[in-house]
Amino acid sequence: MSKDSLTITDNRTGKTYEVPITYGTYERDGASIRSADLRQIKVQDEDFGLMGYDPAYLNTASCKSSVTYIDGDKGILRYRGYPIEQLAEKSTYLETAYLLLNGELPSSNELEGWEQTIASHGMIHESIRNFLDGFRWGSHTMGMLVSVLGAKSTFYPDARNMSSQELMELHISRLVSKVATVAAFCYRHSRGLPYIYPDASLGFAENFLNMLFNTPNTKYEPNPALVKALEVLFILHADHEQNCSASTMRGIGSSLADPYSATAGAAGALYGPLHGGANEAVLVMLQEIGDVKNVPEYIERVKRREVLLQGFGHRVYKNYDPRASIIKETADEVFEVTGRNPLIDIAKELERIALEDDFFVSRKLYPNVDFYSGIIYQAMGLPVDMYPVLFAIPRTAGWLAQWKEMMNDDEQKIARPRQVYTGYDTRDYVTMGDR
């Protein structure tokens, strides 16, 4: 009998079954069985067969992927095998996006062509401004982004045509580029500011800062240290394997909906405070705490389960999120330009106490990517509602890398989980007089 198998005995029938175990790159955390192999386990022939019940997919692999690898116990994150620490130090966001989307680092010609392609797609249809004008002044910019991304599918007659790799690449290039323009326009509208159009002569991060902060009556030159910091933040946020929003992207894409609608759906998932909306929730929390002296009381409220420690904990990382470490270091570089954001002192005190307190240690709760990022964004002059938007911009490359992989995966079909039904057995309609 092969060692790479399970022998299952169904005690209801005494029958035994052998189910093969397969592996991905690593045996350590890639061993799996096909859930469909459980269907053969029945009592009666007419039974549906055994399912795996796994609410929130705590232990379910929905796909095979070669895009991103996380080792939650060791705090490892790699994009296509490259450690996030090396990419953050040596790469740029667009080069990292190319790596995620194509599987390899680009040559200098490939990178130059990719950068030119992205720069060429920066403009958005003028009538998008009419959409934006429909939003109330001060509307949450992430809600605006989700809406406009969905609307983008109506601007391209070929939006629903994914019949060739070339067309898929066109959709990908449009979205990677335009998500930044739409994001900046959302910010400008919500603050009553005139739109600043994309400048194809600028790099991705520099162009985004220019669209955010330039004004018609001044000459805005983003500080190179802030440009570099934003590049690093974009690299760190670009992908994270099968997180909630990436799974949503795959799920929507699996019905062959267009990638613009799928990206809008993924952004909707990211908006949640348990996911990408946490960076906004962290700032709200820090502002509510207000002073380092109030940290112990807040920690006690967390332990009484009255509140969450926003930006802490992770479904996969049971060690320090490697991105949080890099972001924490980046904060100091940003503060040299912007001045120190005093909220970081509260954040560091929260981390210091939490990492010594058994409530957090026993639950393996560590700072995640969202714990320090908002502090940087605030120091850059951005309001809290923009922080999930800053997350969505680079994550669009990761969502599209996951979408592209799913579209090219012969094993993938429309996503349609089963359920364990716990409702009524059949019953007859009751007329109003008899209720």
Kindly state whether residue 315 participates in binding ligand SDX, applying the rule CB under 6 A.
yes
> Does 370 qualify as catalytic in the annotation?
yes
Q: Judge contact between 41 and 49, C-beta under 8 A.
A: yes
In the bound complex, what is the minimum distance in angstroms from residue 129's beta carbon to ligand SDX?
31
> Does 314 qualify as catalytic in the annotation?
yes
Largest Cα–Cα separation, the chain: 81
Kindly state whether residue 309 participates in binding ligand SDX, applying the rule CB under 6 A.
yes
Query: Other C-beta atoms within 10 Å of 6: how many?
Result: 12
Q: How far is CA 359 from CA 107, 345, 362, in A?
A: 48, 22, 6
Residues 201-220 that bind ligand SDX (CB under 6 A): none
In the bound complex, what is the minimum distance in angstroms from residue 313's beta carbon to ligand SDX?
2
- Helix 387-407 to helix 370-379 angle (10° resolution) is 130
Rounded Cα distance between 164 and 143, Å, is 32
- Tell me the CA end-to-end span of the chain in Å, nearest whole number: 61
**Among candidate residues 207, 245, 200, 206, the one with its CA nearest the CA of residue 223:** 206
Half-sphere exposure of 7 (CA within 13 A, CB side): 6
Which is nearer to ligand SDX, 259 or 394 (by Cβ)?
Answer: 394
Catalytic residue among 239, 258, 321, 370: 370
Which is nearer to ligand SDX, 189 or 328 (by Cβ)?
Answer: 328
Compute the C-alpha angle 276/281/284, nearest 5°: 150
Kindly state whether residue 280 participates in binding ligand SDX, applying the rule CB under 6 A.
no
Which is nearer to ligand SDX, 124 or 369 (by Cβ)?
Answer: 369
Which is nearer to ligand SDX, 41 or 309 (by Cβ)?
Answer: 309
Compute the C-alpha angle 189/192/193, nearest 5°: 80
Query: Other C-beta atoms within 10 Å of 13: how many?
Result: 11
Residues 284-303 that bind ligand SDX (CB under 6 A): 302
Catalytic residue among 275, 345, 357, 409: 275
Considering only 21, 76, 193, 308, the residue that binds ligand SDX (CB under 6 A) is: 308
Which is nearer to ligand SDX, 124 or 269 (by Cβ)?
Answer: 269
Kindly state whether residue 177 participates in binding ligand SDX, applying the rule CB under 6 A.
no
Kindly state whether residue 240 participates in binding ligand SDX, applying the rule CB under 6 A.
yes
Which is nearer to ligand SDX, 260 or 312 (by Cβ)?
Answer: 312
Residue window 349-378: x/- pattern of binding to ligand SDX, with contact defined by CB under 6 A: --------------x-x--xxx--------
Reading phi first (left if > 0) and then psi (alpha if -120 to 50, else beta), residue 427 is in beta
Residue window 258-277: x/- pattern of binding to ligand SDX, with contact defined by CB under 6 A: ----------------xxx-
Query: Other C-beta atoms within 10 Å of 86: how many?
Result: 11
**Among candidate residues 181, 243, 233, 167, the one with its CA nearest the CA of residue 398:** 243
In the bound complex, what is the minimum distance in angstroms from residue 362's beta carbon to ligand SDX?
9
**Among candidate residues 221, 121, 235, the one with its CA nearest the CA of residue 181:** 121
Q: Judge contact between 295 and 194, C-beta under 8 A.
A: no
Residue number of the CB atom closest to ligand SDX = 313
> Does 125 qualify as catalytic in the annotation?
no
Catalytic residue among 258, 314, 321, 385: 314
SS3 102: helix
Which is nearer to ligand SDX, 190 or 378 (by Cβ)?
Answer: 378
Number of chain positions touching ligand SDX (CB under 6 A): 21
Residue window 10-49: x/- pattern of binding to ligand SDX, with contact defined by CB under 6 A: ----------------------------------------
Q: Judge contact between 253 and 407, C-beta under 8 A.
A: yes
List residues near ligand SDX by CB under 6 A.
240, 243, 274-276, 278, 302, 308-316, 363, 365, 368-370
Report, as residue numbers or ranges, the catalytic residues.
275, 314, 370
